[in-house]
Amino acid sequence: MKYLFLFSLLIFACGKSPEETIKNLSTQNYNLSTYGDTLFIVPSLPDNVRAEVIQWGAFEDFEEQANDINGNSLEILKEKSNLMVSHIDSILKKIPDTLNTPIIYSRLLVVKTRTYLLNQEVKKIHLDSTKLENKLNELNISIKNLFIQIDEKMEKDLIDLQKFNSEK
């Protein structure tokens, strides 16, 4: 009984159980790791397209986060994924008329889904780094596809306008 009391006292005096110590060590390892493809570059938009999307409330903030989300530690990823969730929600609420097409809307929904999945993954207690990398890669692909669709839509509109003007 005397030894049990001393053992209990020792555990309480240290303040942490062995499980807590192991959890803290594994969390520290995650904090040292960086996730995402540091070579990924969000496609740049031509000036005429940029002039159109600049009127789109949170688009520039979203683009900035998309450029910066790769190559970060878990803690920074948590912050950036929260920001991206907020930005993509804002973007979906007010799509400019010139860009409000089913194709762009569907790409936005895919980006939203990928953003939410990444956000869920970074909040998990037991982090799987392979799954996290996959979520980031899927998000990168969806962002790239969105930017390509926006560029193609604006290019098509320009061609249509030129055809209309030449027919007059």
Predicted TM-score (pTM) of the model is 0.78
Domain ranges of the chain: 33-167
**Residue 43 clears pLDDT 70, i.e. is over it:** yes
Q: Is the pLDDT of residue 31 over 80?
A: no
Partnered with residue 1 across adjacent β-strands are none
| CA atoms of 29 and 85, how far apart (whole Å) | 26
Distances 61 to 19, 47, 92, 102, 142 between C-alpha atoms, Å: 40, 17, 14, 23, 17
Kindly state the average pLDDT of the residues 87-100.
92
Sort residue 127 into left (φ over 0), alpha (ψ -120 to 50) or beta.
Answer: beta
The pLDDT value given to residue 28: 47
Averaged pLDDT score across all residues of the chain: 84
The pLDDT confidence band at residue 149, using thresholds 50, 70 and 90, is very high
Determine the average pLDDT of the residues in 27-39.
71
**Gyration radius (Cα) of the chain, Å:** 23
- Domain 33-167 listed as CATH 1.20.120: yes
Place 134 in a pLDDT band, splitting at 50, 70 and 90. Answer: very high
Percent of the chain with pLDDT over 90: 53
Residue keyed to tokens 């098509």: 156
pLDDT score at 25: 43
pLDDT at 115: 97
